[in-house]
Amino acid sequence: MSRRRLPRGQLLLLLALLCPPVRGECPRRLPAAGGPTSFPEQSFVTYKCDEGFLKIPDKVDTVTCLENGQWSDIEEFCGRSCNVPTRLVFASLKKEYITKNFYPVGFTVEYECRPGFQRTSFSSGKSTCLQNLEWSEVDTFCKKKSCPNPGDIQNGNINITTDMLFGSQIFFSCNTGYKLLGADSSFCSVVGKTVAWSDPLPTCTEIFCPEPPEIDNGIIKGESENYVYGQSISYECDRGFILVGKSSIYCTVKNNDGEWNDMPPECTRIAPKPQKPTKGNIPATEAPPTPQKPNTANIPATQAPPRPQKPSTANVPYTEHVPVTRPAKKFHSTRTSTTQKEISTSDADDLIYGHTCVITLTVLLVMLLT
């Protein structure tokens, strides 16, 4: 089937009926340097607020060129506005004010306590945009909530540095000889609609030292099943050995681990000591192997008659010779034997003098032996 083709004149007539001609143009509403002087129908123009003014929400800032060559009507859409309301530590804006971005003079916003705070006064909690585009001050009407008492740690401590109010932190520690199992600190934070500690209390467990080291040729005294901080043990050597080092060590703590404060001692064998012979340097006197009481008359030295030339025998050192002032008589030995020389009975003074010398030498001999 063949298509019928319209003559050129009829086609132009049809286009004219479907697309009516432009009836008019809108003039430029505001003067500007350069740019078009008129706008065709259905053209639109968007305005921008001057510095210091903000666009009022929900206000139209655009005009359209109408068929009659006139611009569409437009209301005032710019105005003076305060900045975003003051941010408070203890309170926040209510939900209906959070999404707003235009706050004209005289506009009022309202606050409510933040989580972790509670209302403490009947203050309105409101703030108004003033003529100077500043917000009015808001009285403090909320205070921090307090966390409950954390309790006690057995064999440990809780360090509260400031207080137990919302946002504060406490610290945990153990006594010496114990180590911490769990968190070392906790915060007072928001839990639901109230406040509570972020971490539970830790536990303090006792630290044990390892078995004490054994030593050769010795024993450990004070052994037990476990060895805790401060507990000590001592060492003792077997018979015939001597202890070298510290006789006792004790359990201490380093980096939360138990260890002994020192190395164990050693037991070394006692070396026999050589015996030194007893020597005495007594001139003209031979020391007998065992002290014997001379077989002489028991005459005390105080009974002898005074002689002007008799020397004193008191406090005479063993290295000195006993002075003899009688050259006519000499005594060579104090040894007592069956062949002792006969003493002359005719001279009583010589007999007393001789016995006095024997007693003096005997005293010196005893001093050497002791």
Domain boundaries, the chain: 91-144, 156-206, 209-269, 301-369
Supply the pTM of this predicted model: 0.53
So what's the pLDDT on residue 59?
77
Q: How confident is the model at residue 9, as a pLDDT?
A: 42
Which residues, in sequence order, are bridge partners of residue 203?
181
91-144 CATH, one of 3.40.50.300, 2.10.70.10, 2.60.40.420, 3.40.190.10: 2.10.70.10
Q: Which amino acid is at 220?
A: I
| Amino acid occupying residue 337 | S
Q: What is the average pLDDT value for the chain, to the nearest integer?
A: 76
Q: Topology of domain 209-269, per CATH?
A: Complement Module; domain 1 (2.10.70)
Question: What's the full length of the chain, in residues?
Answer: 370
Instruction: Give, in degrees to the nearest 5, the angle at Cα 282 between 281 and 284.
Output: 130
| Phi, psi dihedrals of residue 369, rounded to the nearest 5° | -70, -30
Are the C-beta atoms of residues 130 and 151 closer than 8 Å to each other? no
pLDDT at 316: 37
pLDDT at 323 over 60: no
Condensed to tens digits (0 to 9), the pLDDT of residues 177-186 reads: 999 999 999 9
Q: Which two tokens stand for residue 288?
A: 């007998």
209-269 and 156-206 share a CATH fold: yes
What b/e sequence results for 9-38 when a residue is b if at least 16 CB atoms lie within 10 Å of its CB, and e otherwise? eeeeeeeeeeeeeeeeebeeeeeeeeeeee
What pLDDT score was predicted for residue 24?
55
Lowest mean pLDDT among 38-52, 186-200, 273-287, 355-369: 273-287
For residue 27, the model assigns a pLDDT of 67
Res. 284 pLDDT band, cuts 50 70 90: very low
State the pLDDT at residue 242: 94
In the predicted structure, residue 207 carries a pLDDT above the cut 90: yes
What are the beta bridge partners of residue 119? 142
Q: Is the dihedral of CA 241, 245, 246, 250 positive or negative?
A: negative
Predicted pLDDT of residue 66: 84
b/e sequence 75-88, b meaning 16+ C-beta within 10 Å: eebbeebbeebbeb
The residue among 272, 364, 276 whose CA lies nearest residue 319 is 364
Q: pLDDT tens-digit profile of 126-160?
A: 999 999 999 999 999 999 999 999 999 999 999 99
CATH class (in words) of the domain with range 156-206: mainly beta
Q: Does 354 have pLDDT greater than 70?
A: no
Query: What HEC string does the chain produce?
Result: CCCCCCCHHHHHHHHHHHCCCCCCCEECCCCCCCCCCEECCCCEEECCCCCCCEECCCCCCEEEECCCCCECCCCCCEECECCCCCCCCCEEECHHHHCCCCCECCCEEEEEECCCEEECCCCCCEEEECCCCCECCCCCCEEECECCCCCCCCCEEEEECCCCECCCEEEEEECCCEEEECCCEEEEEEECCEEEECCCCCEEEECEECCCCCCCCEEEECCCCCEECCCEEEEEECCCEEEECCCEEEEEEECCEEEECCCCCEEEECCCCCCCCCCCCCCCCCCCCCCCCCCCCCCCHHHCCCCCCCCCCCCCCCCCCCCCCCCCCCCCCCCCCCCCCCCCCCCHHHHHHHHHHHHHHHHHHHHHHC
